[in-house]
A and B are shown apart, each in its own frame.
Chain A
């Protein structure tokens, strides 16, 4: 089995798929079967979880919810174009090293100084190293992986498959406890096959009607159930149109809050016309939806 290739001890946090669903719900994240199953497997098999899907379906939220449900610390690496080793892995604290060398001048020989400045004290851990070294349960979130350059993926391979980091001056640091790793991607570019191979893949899509209703109600509890129902139905119809940006769950919630704030209790022609801008962010989308749904 591929679970213990790296030999890093890891204790599963969840007992069953139902357990995942329940505990995630306990911290306010309502997961679909696909989502709960994959989280359970990632935990059981000790594999990183690669979450892909449109913006606003709760990819980042999932990592946060797993951290909260398992009482783990969340270590987050936010990727961006041009992120490099020094930002992702570790860096030497140059200023402090210089100070140390200056302070030791005159009464210390070079060998001792050199050994000292490349030690623990002068190492600045960045998210990946931090996650590896933690002894408490940890969730490592690598957010928007697709924004980073291809070179960073290579960096991640060592961390994700062996859960270790090599620092040339100090040797290899191996994880004492395997972190639960979540990578998210908006698929603006294809991630490399090597990286995908090491992960379990979860395509997080818009939730089904029933789940979305429950999500909206849990976020906006004061929303009347009937209004919630027609909101969710309308949003689902909107997603069926060919729009540039389909409304996500976050937008459904925004819409619910808007209607509440305006004191509207039904979604009729006038209410829809006045508030459609909350869910559709492009002018051409709004025009199209209005024409197709006979709002004009």
Chain B
């Protein structure tokens, strides 16, 4: 590793630049604070230094994961293999003793000793992590000159920590038959194993960054903030993260709505009533009267594609709708794939959000033929079976990617529905430049009703906020 050109301050600026590149807004003021932090803290205490920088640079908690990953890349815990007390056991002929290693790992996982586990991860990656070499002869001695290629997959395949679960559990339970205690222990061990996997991955990332430089690693490895994750490409873990943001988001939207209602009270002057009042003061308008806006009782009709292709998006949005129910006097929710079915009853308040979606898919009649989404057919069945669902006071919200699988988009029905409703909005989780490509009828629908791009939670929050009635 080369020393950075401007010493420690230069390195700090590079780090700040990397944060900005990953959508963490850090101003120059924060950089100055960070430098002040550096000057009063003991830099040899890595934990304190890390927390100090976080306190000066971050402004909300969702940014922490990005910060942690980048910090480990810019201020690595060690260079090369480092030195630790935990060592990988070797056999006499210079091979890694896998059985002994797994015993050691099992013991550490059982005791939950995080520091020792981290050191073991470091040692294991050093011994087993070089792709191409078959587990032995690694370390400092082996291949000089040739650039090593580090692989987390190779380490985890050989050590396979998952297979230790049953063994550790047996150890821990020690003949105890309590199913509750066993379940708690199982989840705990599973969590520790996941943590160990993460440590190995981080370690591999650090070693790779030493070989290839920080920037390429940062580009691929830094996790996205929950608000920036795209619905359509999110994986299970990110979706769980997203679901956790539903309630805070709903609360935030609701409180903003309340503020807007309050401001809306100072409305326009009501000339008629002002003049009427001025009668008692001899025609001089002493007390002006303002128009009071009646709080609307908006009805929301949500028409939602729940087919597999948009699963992440529709799940999240329905959860948000459920959380926002307090704000609307009436919400009706229709799900569709090939045909539509009403699922409002499943969204009763207090129902567990996570199970609602699986019940929607299990209990509603959504499929007639092959289980691919059919927008035209679904719109038609909605108008046929629930002709009174959309009225002059309702806002219609259509959620989906408008991919009709080359079937008739049925524009006439949508035009009629849009004519009946007070507002109609189409939320599309696909990027705008893919609208109208392939079997997407997005552009044709967009001619009839306003269509919004909703790829991330941040975009969705913006759209929902601007749509919420005052």
A interface residues, Cβ below 8 angstroms from B: 1-3, 16-17, 33-34, 37-38, 41, 44-45, 47, 52-53, 149-150, 187-190, 193, 196-197, 200-203, 205, 209, 230, 233-234, 236-237, 240, 242, 244, 267-269, 272-273, 282-284, 287-288, 292-295
Contacts and interface: CB of A to CB of B under 8 A. Distances in A.
A50 B170 CA distance: 45
Given A187-B248, A284-B350, A41 B183 contact: no
A201 B351 contact: no
5 contacts: A2-B32, A200-B55, A201-B58, A242-B240, A283-B350
B140 interface: no
A294 B52 contact: no
Contact of B59 (A1, A2, A193, A273): A193
Contact of B54 (A2, A17, A34, A188): A34
Given A33-B48, A41-B55, A230-B181, A288 B352 contact: yes
B36 A45 contact: yes
B416 interface: no
Most chain B C-beta atoms within 10 Å of own C-beta, residue among A188, A287, A293 = A293
Interface of B: 27, 29-30, 32-33, 36-37, 39-42, 45, 47-48, 51-52, 54-56, 58-61, 64, 112, 178-181, 183-185, 187-188, 191, 240, 243-244, 247-248, 251-252, 255-256, 259, 350-354
B55 A38 contact: yes
B461 to A, nearest CB: 11
A233 B184 CA distance: 8
A287 B355 CA distance: 12
B335 to A, nearest CB: 21
Contacts of A47: 33
Contacts of A272: 180
Contacts of A16: 42
The dominant DSSP class at the B interface is: helix
A265 to B, nearest CB: 14
Q: Which 4 interchain pairs have the tightest Cβ spacing?
A: A34-B51, A203-B61, A37-B51, A200-B55
A152 to B, nearest CB: 13
Contacts of B351: 284
A52 B61 contact: yes
A33 B49 CA distance: 10
A1 B350 contact: no
B112 A209 contact: yes
A33 B243 contact: no
Given A33-B51, A190-B252, A200-B55, A2 B33 contact: yes
Contact of A3 (B36, B259, B350): B36
B184 A201 contact: no
B64 A203 contact: yes
Given A197-B30, A240-B187, A240-B191, A268 B181 contact: yes
A201 B61 CA distance: 9
B51 A38 contact: yes
Contact of A284 (B45, B240, B352): B352
B299 to A, nearest CB: 26
Contacts of B188: 233, 236-237
Given A41-B37, A202-B55, A294-B180, A188 B255 contact: yes
Contact of B178 (A202, A269, A282, A284): A269
B250 to A, nearest CB: 11
Given A188-B255, A203-B64, A209-B112, A41 B56 contact: yes
A244 B351 CA distance: 11
A45 B33 CA distance: 9
A150 B255 CA distance: 12
B251 A188 contact: yes
A257 to B, nearest CB: 20
Nearest to A146: B255
Contact of B243 (A149, A196, A242): A242
A16 B247 CA distance: 39
Contacts of A190: 60, 252
Contacts of B30: 197
Nearest to A149: B259
Given A196-B59, A269-B179, A41 B247 contact: no
